[in-house]
Amino acid sequence: MNESLFTSFITPTMVGIPIVLLIIMFPSILFPSPSRLIDNRLVSIQQWLVRLTSKQMLSIHSHKGQTWALMLMSLILFIGSTNLLGLLPHSFTPTTQLSMNLGMAIPLWAGTVATGFRYKTKASLAHFLPQGTPFPLIPMLVIIETISLFIQPVALAVRLTANITAGHLLIHLIGGATLTLTSISTITAFITFTVLVLLTILEFAVALIQAYVFTLLVSLYLHDNT
């Protein structure tokens, strides 16, 4: 039981060849680039969604922050599509791997910090000490603020990994329980319902992408534009 629970999270290999790269690149096929003034149904929906999201997300940024628009929109599209594709049966979700999420979180966070330090050095350093702190508390508070700064990328990555992995594990467990309980009735109807409800809630993995990009966004906002 223990061994078979986590085998769905190992990186997939087919006849010894790792196909992880193919699976990571797969969602790009589902976003065709618009070629006409009015495209087909799929592209029109995607265009509308991207416009809606980008307007809502970039409205709070100054001009300098809005240069990150492409990065943020591609980030939310990638994580959203990867998480949603992971809900298909037997598919592999790359965002369950901590390595990949750290690879996304650390460079992006470091970019925001570097931008803040480069263009507004004094303001960035001033973030380490909140306004109005009593004089004796200053050394401790600087240490605490530094720790909270450096924990940001780790928190971003671990949050995404843990949420997606936990959701997948729950689906496996509850689905397995449902199957074994089919010989014993009336409880099974309830548990099948739980699986259904859980799956719907899990589809708010898209909400998790919102959380990801929003957190990144807040960080960028704070570091860049005071």
According to DSSP, the residues that pair with 18 across neighbouring strands are 13
Nearer to another protein, 6 or 190 (CB): 6
Shortest separation between residue 166's beta carbon and another protein, angstroms: 20
Shortest separation between residue 178's beta carbon and another protein, angstroms: 14
Nearer to another protein, 30 or 187 (CB): 30
Helix 69-85 to helix 205-225 angle (10° resolution) is: 160
- Half-sphere exposure (CA, 13 Å, Cβ side) for 125? 4
Nearer to another protein, 19 or 158 (CB): 19
Quick one: tokens of 8?
A: 């769905």
Shortest separation between residue 164's beta carbon and another protein, angstroms: 16
Residues in contact with another protein by the rule CB under 8 A: 4, 7-8, 12-14, 19, 23, 26, 29-30, 32, 35, 40-42, 85, 88-92
Nearer to another protein, 92 or 212 (CB): 92
- The whole-angstrom separation of Cα 109 and Cα 216 is 7
Only one residue has tokens 């495209």, namely 39
Shortest separation between residue 50's beta carbon and another protein, angstroms: 17
Shortest separation between residue 90's beta carbon and another protein, angstroms: 5
Nearer to another protein, 81 or 192 (CB): 81
Evaluate whether 211 touches 56 at the Cβ level (below 8 Å): no
Quick one: tokens of 149?
A: 């700064």
- The whole-angstrom separation of Cα 61 and Cα 52 is 16
- DSSP-derived 3-state class of residue 18: strand
